[in-house]
């Protein structure tokens, strides 16, 4: 029998004043990345006029990619099989059974889709600014850990992406889900990404000659998605169809990013 008194009971309010915790964590993560990359640009003497449009490209790319990634990879049977589902995929609303609708925000964002969306957005940004794609990717990679950390903290505040039942003493009881003690998978990831940011920030000061080679971008992808692959073993499946798969969708989608990351770390830089 599990002694429930030893575990952490978790049921915080999902709102903070007029803000939802999840949205606030997203904004804090993006804001910290914004100031981090701005400092990196100035350290590298990249003109402010090249930095100004970067935030817009990143914000739109991450949001659109994360939303489409969730809808296409995790719930295609809902979002891609009806007109209402397709509209809900694009707009932050939900159609009610009585024919009305309500504003819900984007309920469902996938990190793999967000990563892919960001990469496409940065390619478009580079086409406009004529900066080196590897310099831009490396700078974004250095700041990625802090944003990823806050996004997972937002998931923790929402009691979503919960872990499997366990008896470890740091288990959380997510009261909005059930009364079982579970792995706080969101917290595991948040800590891992905070460590990633600390590592990247320390390395960039010692390896300035590697910025612009793709090494930091490759290290970021390899670290995040290798950790993501193994942390999935502590999580409950998000959609029922994953239960019949040898690997869950998060693990399947992580593999190509790990391969890309390793290739970028060991690529031979060419003269621009």
Whether 152 has a binding-site annotation, put simply, is yes
Ranges of H-type helices in 44-132: 48-51, 54-73, 76-79, 83-90, 111-129
Q: What is the DSSP letter of 179?
A: S
Q: How far apart are the first and last CA of the chain?
A: 64
Beta-ladder partners of 101: 95
Give, in order, the Cα–Cα distances in Å from 240 to each of 80, 94, 237, 253: 17, 21, 7, 17
- Rounded to an integer, what distance in angstroms lies between the CA atom of residue 237 and that of residue 84? 25
**Cβ distance 171 to 183 under 8 Å?**
yes
User: Which residues have CB under 8 Å from 217's CB, separation 6+?
Assistant: 134, 137, 138, 140, 141, 261, 264
Burial label, 144 (beta-carbon count in 10 A; 0-12, 13-18, 19+): buried
* Annotated binding-site positions: 152
């Amino acid at each position: 029998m599990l002694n429930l008194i030893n575990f952490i009971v978790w049921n915080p309010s999902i709102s903070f004043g007029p803000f939802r915790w999840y949205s606030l964590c997203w904004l804090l993560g993006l804001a910290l990345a914004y100031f981090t990359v701005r400092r990196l640009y100035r350290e590298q003497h990249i003109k402010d006029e090249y930095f100004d449009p970067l935030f817009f490209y990143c914000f739109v790319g991450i949001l659109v990619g994360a939303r489409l990634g969730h809808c296409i990879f995790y719930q295609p049977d809902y979002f891609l099989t009806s007109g209402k589902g397709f509209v809900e995929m694009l707009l932050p609303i939900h159609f009610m059974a009585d024919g009305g609708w309500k504003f819900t925000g984007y309920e469902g964002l996938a990190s793999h889709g967000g990563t892919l969306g960001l990469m496409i957005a940065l390619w478009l940004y580079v086409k406009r600014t004529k900066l080196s794609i590897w310099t831009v990717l490396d700078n974004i990679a250095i700041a990625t850990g802090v944003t990823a950390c806050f996004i997972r903290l937002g998931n923790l505040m929402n009691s979503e992406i919960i872990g499997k039942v366990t008896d470890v003493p740091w288990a959380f009881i997510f009261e909005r889900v059930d009364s079982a003690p579970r792995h706080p998978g969101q917290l595991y990831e948040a800590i891992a990404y905070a460590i990633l940011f600390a590592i990247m920030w320390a390395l960039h000061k010692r390896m300035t000659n590697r910025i612009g080679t793709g090494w930091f971008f490759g290290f970021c992808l390899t670290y995040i998605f290798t950790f993501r692959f193994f942390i999935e073993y502590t999580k409950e499946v998000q959609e029922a169809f994953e239960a019949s798969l040898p690997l869950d969708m998060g693990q399947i989608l992580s593999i190509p990013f790990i391969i890309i990351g390793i290739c970028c770390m060991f690529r031979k830089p060419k003269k621009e």
